[in-house]
Amino acid sequence: MKNRRNILIVIAALLALAIVTPYSSSYVITLITHALVFAILAMSLDLLLGYTGLPSLGQAAFLGMGAYLTAILAADYGFGLGWSFWVVIVLGMLLGAATAAFFGLFAIRATGVYFLMITLALGMCVWGLAYRWNSVTGGDNGINLPPRPEFGISLANDLTFFYVVFGFFVATLATLYVIVRSPFGRSLEGIRERELRMRILGYNTWLHKYIAYIIAGAFGGLAGVLWAQMNGLVSPEDVILTTSVDALLMVVLGGPGTLVGGAIGALVVTFLRDYLSTLVHWWQYVLGGVYVLTILYLPGGLIGIPARVRNWRARGKETSSSISLKEGRP
Amino acid sequence: MDTQFWVIQAFNGVSYGALLFLLASGLSLIFGVMRIVNLSHGSYFLLGGYVALSVIWSTGSWVLALPVAALVIAGVGLVMERIFLRPLGFDPLRQVLLTVGFAFLFQQGALDIWGGDPLNIDPPEPLTGSTVVGGIYLPRYRIFMISLAVVMGLLLWLAMEKTRMGAMVRAAVDDSEMARGVGIDTSRVSMFIFALGAFLAALGGAIGGAFFGVYPGLDFEILPLAFAVVIIGGMGSLAGAAAGSLIVGLADNFGKALFPEVSYFTLYAPMVLILALKPTGLFGRD
């Protein structure tokens, strides 16, 4: 069972992460937490990109919705600082889903380049509001959050917060895995491969894509709530075009259509943006280089490398055996 | 809010639109011919400004700086299209990510060469100051921007309508496959269009350098506006790019003056509506 083996590998990796992290420095813990938040965003995008074939250029909009909701509730109303943190989580996911339900009405009909453009425009709408609607969003300065929630456990402790985010990450991964393995997820894959055929078979492809978009929006909102608590500051910088493009890169770099690939991609990109940028001033060469090299040489993403190596070795054996056959011939 | 307010705002909007036209007309043609979502188009604009600055620093000539900057960046665009985009084939997502990668590389390159401080391009003496028309002070540089955009627009229109290359471009916009079928070398057309697009964007950057300066981050600030122009006007259409530039320029100015809190929203929401209702844009051909 190849599939069961893969699941075991993922579980082992997650356990290792949960066990090793407490022994790292507080800086590394923050870095990993950051990566996990964006892994949730990347996996939500993977449902669209990898499974449904919808390259969304505006996923940051949902992150922004969740983040601004959290920040506004916490800073202006003092809500979500105790047990109500869980209410904010639910509200953030609902707002993300509602936003997606609204945006989807415009976006889902479009295909290919037009889908890219319309999601870009929707993302820019959210950015425009975040940037300019001073009375609500604090404009360019953004909103500073009060210290993280406390309910029996204190999330202000970075390690505790890591475990909370880790829990949400695992829950997201499991939920999305169940979704993509369900008949619904299979139909999404069918739409990705050939939408027309699915429509002829009687599937309402618009509705399938619409629902997938809403689910992605909900998890984008979740990532937003966690990001707001993680960063302590929400600003228009979080919803700029680059954030959406980074999310796309995470998925493509890790390997689209695998969920875990997005998480791996998130780890790499966060590492580059957060860690490498503190070490060297020319880190953007590396980031840009990763973009270019991924597109040119890694069509299946990082996660596809083992399979490629296996293929390559198998082909190597095949050719060597065929050569020996030829040599064996009289 | 008297007439003077409206006249000045309209004038500012039109002159901003003129700058957007330089930036977006090339993007529109690239989009129309190659269906490429080129996210490094803003970088051409920024690099155009920086190269123009270098030329001014070394030769002292502003007049020389404009064509040199435009030609240098056209070369950059040409190389990018030939070496990286052409072999990629048609896959919008991969094109987007590749061009973003280049945008980051250009950004870092610009930072290393020209530093992170905001710079300004000083226009020559005759273009500074204002001209009084009917009791209203109109900055001469803005008048120059409008005239230049009109001249470039006319030249482009003549090139598209009257030359053989222009006819080939129009054919490739309408139906790339059919154009290839009747023997048009669409690969050469793409190369030409990509270089032309980079040329125009860099020219816009060199002109715009006196208008809002040259600084890191300008590339990604200006890029979505260019896309708004292309989408509203309709891709692959010069008239569309002109109309789209005017609409976006005016909407931006009046939006910021009249309802600042939602001014960017009012810019991108129409873009969404047009994409949803008529994806070919107001002036695009079906």
> What is the share, in percent, of chain A residues with pLDDT greater than 90?
48
Phi first, then psi: give them for residue B132, nearest 5 degrees.
Answer: -95, 120
> Alpha-carbon distance A322 to A317, whole Å?
8
Yes or no: say if B235 and B41 are a contact pair by the CB < 8 Å rule.
no
Average pLDDT, rounded, for chain B: 87
The predicted pLDDT at position B92 comes to 82
Nearest CA in chain A to B108: A284
Q: Do A243 and A160 meet the contact criterion of CB atoms below 8 Å apart?
A: no
Torsion-angle region of residue B217: left (phi > 0), alpha (psi -120 to 50) or beta? Answer: left
Question: Does the interface ipTM go beyond 0.90?
Answer: no
CA-based nearest residue in chain B for residue A273: B104
pLDDT of A65 > 70? The answer is: yes
How many Å is the maximal CA-CA distance in chain B? 59
Q: How far is B64 from chain A (nearest CA, A)?
A: 31
- Name the band, by pLDDT with cuts 50, 70 and 90, for residue B120: confident
Query: Is the pLDDT confidence value at A319 over 60?
Result: no
What is the SS3 assignment for A1? Answer: coil
The whole-angstrom separation of Cα A299 and Cα A143 is: 39
Beta-carbon contacts of residue B258 (< 8 Å; ≥ 6 apart): none
DSSP per-residue letters across A98-164: HHHHHHHHHHTT--HHHHHHHHHHHHHHHHHHHHH-HHHH-GGG-EEPPSPPEESEETTSHHHHHHH
The secondary structure element, H or E, covering residue A63 is: helix A60-77
The answer to whether B90 and B35 are in contact (CB under 8 A) is yes
- Residue A307: is its pLDDT beyond 90? no
What is the Cβ-side half-sphere exposure of residue A7, based on CA atoms within 13 angstroms?
Answer: 9
pLDDT range class, residue A326, cuts 50, 70, 90: very low
**pLDDT value, residue A70:** 94
**Are A68 and A57 in contact, with CB atoms under 8 Å apart?**
no
Q: From CA B151, how far away is CA B200, in angstroms rounded?
A: 12
- Predicted confidence at residue A230, as pLDDT, reads 92
Task: Place B285 in a pLDDT band, splitting at 50, 70 and 90.
Answer: low
Going by pLDDT thresholds of 50, 70 and 90, the confidence category of residue A318 is low
Cross-chain CB nearest to B105 (options A128, A129, A285): A285
Is it the case that residue A325 has pLDDT exceeding 50?
A: no
What does the pLDDT look like over B156-196, one tens digit per residue? 999 888 888 888 888 888 888 888 888 888 888 888 889 99
Counted across chains A and B, CB pairs separated by less than 8 A come out at 135
The predicted-structure confidence for B226-276, as pLDDT tens digits, reads as follows 989 988 888 778 888 999 999 999 988 888 888 888 888 888 888 888 888
Domain ranges of chain B: 19-218
pLDDT for B34: 80
What is the nearest CA distance from B269 to chain A, expressed in angstroms?
6
What pLDDT, on the 0 to 100 scale, is given for residue A328? Answer: 39
Nearest residue to A122 (alpha-carbon basis) of B120, B231, B22:
B231
Q: Is A96 in contact with A65 (CB distance < 8 Å)?
A: yes
* Best B88, B273, B275, B286 residue to mutate vs chain A (most A CBs within 10 Å): B275
Smallest CA–CA separation between A157 and chain B, in Å? Answer: 35
- Select the more confidently predicted residue: A166 or B88: A166
pTM for the predicted model, two decimal places: 0.89
pLDDT score, position B32: 82
Q: Residue A2: its pLDDT value, please?
A: 67
* Pair B85, B191: CB distance under 8 Å: no
β pairing state of A143-144 and B130-133: unpaired
Q: Which of A41, A98, A84, A44 is nearest to A239 (CA)?
A: A41
DSSP conformational letter for A234:
E
Q: Residue A241: its chain B contacts at CB < 8 A?
A: 220, 223-224
Q: In a mutagenesis test of the B interface, which of A103, A106, A113 is the best target, namely the one with the most B β-carbons within 10 Å? A: A113
Cα–chain center distance at B258? 26
Q: Burial letters for A132-160: b for 16+ Cβ neighbours within 10 Å, e otherwise? A: bbeeebbbeebbebeebbeeeeebeeeee
- With a pLDDT cut of 70, the percent of chain B lying above it is 98
Q: What is the mean pLDDT of residues B213-219?
A: 88
| Predicted local confidence at residue A317, as pLDDT | 67
For residue A154, is pLDDT > 90? no
Q: What is the mean pLDDT of residues A167-189?
A: 94
| Overall average pLDDT of the B4-21 stretch | 89
Mean pLDDT of A146-169: 89
Residue B263 Cα, gap to closest chain A Cα (Å):
7
Question: Would you call B92 and A116 a contact, using CB atoms and an 8 Å cutoff?
Answer: yes
Supply the mean pLDDT for chain A: 88
In this complex, the residue of A132, A241, A242 whose CB is nearest that of residue B261 is A132
pLDDT for the residue numbered A330? 37
User: pLDDT for A281-290, tens place per residue?
Assistant: 888 898 889 8
Q: What residues does B137 pair with on adjacent strands?
A: B132
- Mean pLDDT is lowest, of A178-192, A311-325, B109-123, for A311-325
Nearest to B37 among A49, A116, A296 (CB): A116
Q: Which of A36, A38, A4, A44 is nearest to A18 (CA)?
A: A36
Nearest CB to B276 within list A118, A133, A283: A118
Summarize pLDDT for A8-46 with one digit per residue, the tens. 888 999 998 888 888 888 889 999 999 999 999 999 999
Mean pLDDT of A233-240: 91
**Which residues are registered as beta bridge partners of A243?**
none
Using an 8 Å CB-CB cutoff, list chain A residues near B93: 49, 55, 116, 248, 252
User: Rounded to 5 degrees, what are φ and ψ at A220?
Assistant: -60, -40
Average pLDDT of span B42-71: 91
B31: distance to nearest CA of chain A, Å? 10
Q: How confident is the model at residue A161 (pLDDT cuts 50, 70, 90)?
A: very high
What's the confidence (pLDDT) of residue A323?
45
**Does residue A84 register a pLDDT over 50?**
yes
pLDDT at A227: 95
Which of A252, A284, A295 lies nearest to residue B108, judging by beta carbons?
A: A284
Q: Which two tokens stand for residue B172?
A: 């490739």
Question: Which tens digits make up the pLDDT trace of B127-152?
Answer: 787 888 777 788 888 888 999 999 99
